[in-house]
Chain A
Amino acid sequence: MRRAPLLPALVFTIVVTQIPFLLTIYYSLQSWNLVRPGSQHFVWFENYVSVFADSQFRGVALNTIIMTLGSVIIAVILGLLLALLLNRHFIGRGVVRTLLVTPFLITPVAAALLWKTTLLDPTYGLINFVLGGQTIDWVSEYPLASVMAALVWQWTPFMMLLLLAGLQSMPGDQVEAARVDGAGAWAIFTELTLPHLRRFLELGIVLGAIYLVNTFDAVYMITQGGPGTASANLPFYIYQRAFLGFDIGQSAAMGVVVVVLTIIVATFALRLVFRSFGAAGSES
């Protein structure tokens, strides 16, 4: 009874997450296209079979992996470089830090629009302007890279903050000891800083991947998944099948497959992170 006050929250959570999930599973076993009223009937696992037979689905799955891991890894590398710079003392550090964090605070839709129109537009985009009046149509020639650029831009500050916190928790006396022991700046970075940052890097990669695997806004705003499905990821592809193709059964089956795969990957990733932080906790 002590936990009774939590009950409304629990009921709410079940209503908004578990019931839709069960309904999705139910839909995924139906052949049901909204364009053909009255066509709804039970088909067992036919939808799942066609999901795995769908070469577009596989291509989109690959896009999702490239988009998620690529963006996260580039954001981590850039975030690490910026964190190393911000970890030094210089005049105006507070201002610089605030400015560097702002991309993370911008609504993803607004950020995506900013990239699509202000930066990447072939005629009046700033990137072409800086490149000396080029007219490269970035969004159609490099669709996946364009979406990833916006994602990296938004997620670098997050990685930077996380790694900056890690750098600032590094004991100064270890660095001093290493200097006396004859280590130069690079040796200190590889021998001390990187091992110290390991668990912060892991956490950043896992959290970033969990968020970015669900990316929708950027894809929708910048490329609409196109050309074709060149820049579509799984959430966008499912959306297309459900709300543009009106194929409820197919898209529900894809949704279930994606959720199950995500849960499996996320479980392993989170376990890794909690293990390294748990071990660190018992250290002190």
Chain B
Amino acid sequence: MAEVVFDQASRIYTPGAKPAVDKLDLTVTDGELVVLVGPSGSGKSTALRMLAGLEPIDAGSVRIDGRDVVDVPSKDRDIAMVFQSYALYPAKTVRDNMAFPLKMRGMGKAEQSKRVADAAELLGLTEYLDRKPKALSGGQRQRVAMGRAIVREPRVFLMDEPLSNLDAKMRVQTRSQIASLQNRLEVSTVYVTHDQVEAMTMGDRVAVLRDGQLQQYATPSELYDHPVNAFVAGFIGSPAMNLLDLRRSGDGVTLGGTEVPLSRAVRDAAGSAETVTVGVRPEDLSLDAEGVGSGIKAVVDVVEELGSESYLYAHMAEDESTTLVVRGPGRTTVRYGDTIALRVNPDAVHSFDASSGERLPG
């Protein structure tokens, strides 16, 4: 049960160079699961390791339940961590792996085996307790790593891409197991991933990082509906949002010969800029039923048929370099090379400043 606060926390690997984590401000409230997400090199793992005590905090502070932990070694922070590689101890059995953190805290043997048995029961590991890690499958190893973290009943769980070594099916399954386990245990959790689907599905709140800087910290739906800048807009959502630099014309911008209207507030915020970055999610583009009627004309390059829906990757009829992704209906009849006509849902257009990428209000 704990509140974790990053207060202007920074990690500077080489003095003078750009910090790996730059003045991070983040609060994880008690029992919350917060996901740090970003592309590689965004500082998300470094931030987690700063909280774990595996990386020094060069400036600012990190507090767990109000206690500044900058000078507190890992072993005294009362945290538990699940590593991407699981980092199981190869010479120890599953039982001894899970009991290790308890043993290190001088817990009595009886209590140790009771807690290990409980955790093993919870994770379905009871029959593997006497095996060595090398005799386990990837999914089982992952659960042992989880077990080693939960037996401790720590203040905070830290998870560093715990699912990235699993196959796709296991990943989806384990994802929901971890989320429900966390709900049940009500332990504050910081979860690092590069996978925005994991972030969206697991996080109570999600922090998007880029180049060591926090971009946006919000609930998944807030991130999806109101990304603060073009980076977040393009990072969250799959397939990614279509982001196009479009020329201003009249009350909006021109896309493929048609005008996409922008609200008055957006136009005012854009000021005299000649172009605006416009973002439209694939589901906010619709196929004109007529086929080639009015609308924006585009030529299909790839059709991804998923059964319940389909994604059409197309380029503009008059401009090969501008490409779009459109969500179409399932079992679409559109084929490679077809010309389609698209309509934009004007209420779902996101607008960003073309140079800074910041969201234009309105």
Are the CB atoms of A177 and B104 closer together than 8 Å? no
B66 at the interface (CB under 8 A from A): no
Contact of B54 among A179, A183, A191, A196 (CB under 8 A): A179
A132 at the interface (CB under 8 A from B): no
Of the listed stretches B32-40, B80-88, B198-206, B319-327, chain A binds: B80-88
Are the CB atoms of A180 and B89 closer together than 8 Å? no
Are the CB atoms of B87 and A179 closer together than 8 Å? no
Are the CB atoms of B134 and A178 closer together than 8 Å? no
Q: Which residues of B have CB within 8 Å of A192? A: 89, 91
Are the CB atoms of B105 and A174 closer together than 8 Å? no
Q: How many A-B residue pairs have CB under 8 A?
A: 70
Q: Enumerate A158-179 residues with CB–CB distance to B below 8 Å.
A: 171, 173-174, 176-179
Q: Enumerate B80-103 residues with CB–CB distance to A below 8 Å.
A: 80-81, 83, 85, 87-92, 100-101
Q: Which residues of B have CB within 8 Å of A195? A: 89, 91-92
Min CB distance A172 to B, Å, is 9
A187 at the interface (CB under 8 A from B): yes
Q: Which partner residue on chain A sits nearest B145 by CB separation?
A: A177
Count, chain A residues at interface, CB 8 A = 20
Are the CB atoms of B75 and A184 closer together than 8 Å? yes
Min CB distance B234 to A, Å, is 32
Are the CB atoms of B134 and A183 closer together than 8 Å? no
Residue among B77, B88, B101 facing the most chain A CB atoms (10 A cut-off): B101
Q: Which partner residue on chain B sits nearest A198 by CB separation?
A: B91
Min CB distance A242 to B, Å, is 48
In the docked arrangement, what's the CA distance between A180 and B80, Å? 6
Q: Which residues of B have CB within 8 Å of A179? A: 53-54, 73-75
A54 at the interface (CB under 8 A from B): no
Contact of A176 among B54, B90, B152 (CB under 8 A): B54
A141 at the interface (CB under 8 A from B): no
In the docked arrangement, what's the CA distance between A134 and B87, Å? 55
Q: A187-B104, A191-B100, A195-B91 are in contact. Are A181 and B148 (CB under 8 A)?
A: yes
Min CB distance A74 to B, Å, is 26
Contact of A182 among B87, B90, B101 (CB under 8 A): B101
The dominant DSSP class at the A interface is helix
Are the CB atoms of A180 and B79 closer together than 8 Å? yes
Q: Which partner residue on chain A sits nearest B81 by CB separation?
A: A180
Are the CB atoms of A181 and B80 closer together than 8 Å? yes
In the docked arrangement, what's the CA distance between A183 and B101, Å? 8
In the docked arrangement, what's the CA distance between A282 and B148, Å? 25
Are the CB atoms of A196 and B91 closer together than 8 Å? yes
B223 at the interface (CB under 8 A from A): no
B298 at the interface (CB under 8 A from A): no
Residue among A178, A182, A184, A187 facing the most chain B CB atoms (10 A cut-off): A182
Q: Which residues of A have CB within 8 Å of B89? A: 174, 177-178, 191-192, 195
In the docked arrangement, what's the CA distance between A179 and B73, Å? 8
Contact of A181 among B90, B100, B134 (CB under 8 A): B100
Are the CB atoms of A171 and B91 closer together than 8 Å? no
Q: Enumerate B12-60 residues with CB–CB distance to A below 8 Å.
A: 52-54
In the docked arrangement, what's the CA distance between A61 and B76, Å? 54
Q: Which residues of B have CB within 8 Å of A178? A: 89, 100, 104
Min CB distance B162 to A, Å, is 12
In the docked arrangement, what's the CA distance between A182 and B151, Å? 13
Are the CB atoms of B104 and A182 closer together than 8 Å? yes
Residue among A171, A173, A180 facing the most chain B CB atoms (10 A cut-off): A180
Per-position 1/0 for B97-131, Cβ under 8 A of A: 00011001100000000000000000000000000
Q: Which residues of A have CB within 8 Å of B92? A: 191, 195
Q: Which partner residue on chain A sits nearest B132 by CB separation?
A: A283
Q: Which partner residue on chain B sits nearest A176 by CB separation?
A: B54
Q: A174-B89, A191-B89 are in contact. Are A181 and B101 (CB under 8 A)?
A: yes
Q: A182-B105, A191-B100, A283-B134 are in contact. Are A177 and B75 (CB under 8 A)?
A: no
Residue among B75, B79, B85, B101 facing the most chain A CB atoms (10 A cut-off): B75
Per-position 1/0 for B149-179, Cβ under 8 A of A: 0001000001000000000000000000000
Min CB distance B357 to A, Å, is 36
Q: Which partner residue on chain B sits nearest A172 by CB separation?
A: B87
Min CB distance B113 to A, Å, is 17
Q: A187-B104, A283-B134 are in contact. Are A177 and B91 (CB under 8 A)?
A: no
Q: Which partner residue on chain B sits nearest A174 by CB separation?
A: B87
In the docked arrangement, what's the CA distance between A179 and B80, Å? 10
Q: Which residues of A have CB within 8 Å of B83? A: 173, 176-177
In the docked arrangement, what's the CA distance between A178 and B101, Å? 8
Q: Which residues of B have CB within 8 Å of A183? A: 75, 100, 104
Per-position 1/0 for A190-210, Cβ under 8 A of B: 011001101000000000000
Q: Which residues of A have CB within 8 Å of B74? A: 176, 179-180
In the docked arrangement, what's the CA distance between A117 and B176, Å? 74
Q: Which residues of A have CB within 8 Å of B75? A: 179-184
Min CB distance A271 to B, Å, is 21
Min CB distance B252 to A, Å, is 53
Q: Which residues of A have CB within 8 Å of B105? A: 182
Min CB distance B342 to A, Å, is 48
- Counting from the closest, the 7 A-B pairs by CB-CB distance are A195-B91, A182-B104, A177-B87, A181-B101, A173-B87, A182-B75, A179-B74
Given contacts A174-B87, A283-B134, 12 further A-B contacts (CB under 8 A): A171-B85, A174-B89, A177-B148, A179-B75, A182-B101, A183-B75, A183-B100, A187-B104, A191-B89, A192-B91, A195-B89, A196-B91
Residues in chain A within 8 A of chain B (CB atoms): 171, 173-174, 176-184, 187, 191-192, 195-196, 198, 282-283
Residues in chain B within 8 A of chain A (CB atoms): 52-54, 73-77, 79-81, 83, 85, 87-92, 100-101, 104-105, 134, 148, 152, 158
Q: List 9 A-B contacts (CB under 8 A).
A: A176-B54, A177-B81, A180-B75, A180-B81, A181-B100, A181-B104, A182-B76, A191-B92, A282-B134
